[in-house]
Amino acid sequence: MNAKPHRTNSDFQLRYFLAGSCHTPDGAWALMYGQKIDIEGKIKHTHAQKLRRDAKIMAAKDFLANNLDAPLHERMEKEAEIIECEAAAPIAELNLRAAEDELATIERIMAELEPLRKYSHLSLLAANEAAQREEWLGELKTRAENFLLSQGSIPHDQLNTMRNHPDFATELVPHIRQIVVKMKGSPDGLELLARNDPLLRLKDKR
């Protein structure tokens, strides 16, 4: 069941499908950083919305208290504003609590990844650039595995992408050959697809 009320991603998704989709600790950390700033922005936005909602309720109540002779339809409009704002408050509170929980999970994953990073000594932007070659190498190796195990060959456009990588001859070709050999030893090859906990896997790739 892929239910995640009030959240962008569940803890499971963050660990296994986001961080777990990366191929280097630095790549996973950078992805989590992107999630972090996104959730932090949503939390700030939620706080701002609460202030606006509270201000709207205060203004409506002030109007009702100081305009007893106002036309009925105007008083009804203000009462409706109060009801609408108060009705939205519980959902907003759940959204905020869920976002704070999600942020805490993201920060825990980043903390686990931090000692595994190769480029933590560089600035944020420089570290992300430095990780690209290795991250792409891991991505292309995974694509080769998936294509070979699912359809038995690598599509020409994907092979062309792989050939553009500077480590094609030294890393990708031997990896592809290794997968082919393993598949001959295990016809279905499904056990080659199994992965352990993503952060443990990334630890082995430092």
What is d(CA 5, CA 2) in angstroms, rounded to the nearest whole number?
Answer: 10
CA 110 to chain centre: 12
Q: What is the pLDDT of residues 40-67, one digit of tens each?
A: 999 999 999 999 999 999 999 999 999 9
Q: What angle do CA 165, 206, 134 make, to 5 degrees?
A: 10
Average pLDDT (15-20) is: 94
- Residues 121 and 11: their CA atoms lie apart, in Å, by 28
Question: pLDDT at position 201, please?
Answer: 66
pLDDT grade, residue 149 (50/70/90)?
A: confident
Question: Tens digit of pLDDT for each residue in 67-82?
Answer: 999 999 999 999 999 9
Q: Decide which of 61, 95, 121 is a domain's last residue.
A: 121
Q: Are 12 and 102 in contact (CB under 8 A)?
A: no
Does 28 share its domain with 74?
Answer: yes
Q: Which of 75, 93, 121 is the last residue of a domain?
A: 121
Q: Tokens in use for 32? A: 């989590």
The per-residue pLDDT for 128 is 96
Q: How confident is the model at residue 2 (pLDDT cuts 50, 70, 90)?
A: low
- What predicted TM-score, i.e. pTM, was given to this entire model? 0.86
Give the pLDDT score at 191: 65
pLDDT higher than 90, residue 27: yes
Statement to judge: residues 109 and 55 lie in one domain: yes
pLDDT at 204: 60
**Domain end (from 92, 121, 150):** 121
One domain for residues 98 and 43: yes
Q: Which domain holds residue 166?
A: 131-203
